[in-house]
Amino acid sequence: MQYGKTMKTVAISKRSKSINELLRKASRENIIIRTHDGTEFILAEIDDFNREIKLTRQNEKLMRFLEQRAKETKTIPLDEVKTQLGIK
């Protein structure tokens, strides 16, 4: 998540069937949307999402893990990961 981004409200047309179906699903449970390049987005009702943020921040183990990950600077080249996983 990138902090400092602004939010924009977008009105969805009734004719946007696939988006409206995702919104219906998101009203029942939070959804992670993954694009073809692996970028992920979360789709959640705002009230529910705010609650999820509050609960997540209370998860001390997760917060420690995220703090540790944020400090990491070393990366592994994609080719090396593919070799380790046996993917060509």
User: What long-range pairs does 15-19 form, CB within 8 A, spacing at least 24?
Assistant: none
User: Looking at the whole model, is its pTM more than 0.75?
Assistant: no
pLDDT digits 0-9 by tens, 42-80: 898 877 677 778 888 888 998 999 999 899 888 888 999
Domain residue spans in the chain? Answer: 17-85
- In one letter, which amino acid is 87? I
- 44, 26 Cβ separation under 8 angstroms: yes
- 16, 22 Cβ separation under 8 angstroms: no
Task: Provide, rounded to the nearest whole percent, the portion of the chain with pLDDT above 70.
Answer: 93
For residue 32, what is the enclosing H or E element? strand 31-34
Question: Would you state the structure tokens that stand for residue 88, as one six-digit string?
Answer: 């060509």
* For residue 1, pLDDT beyond 80: no
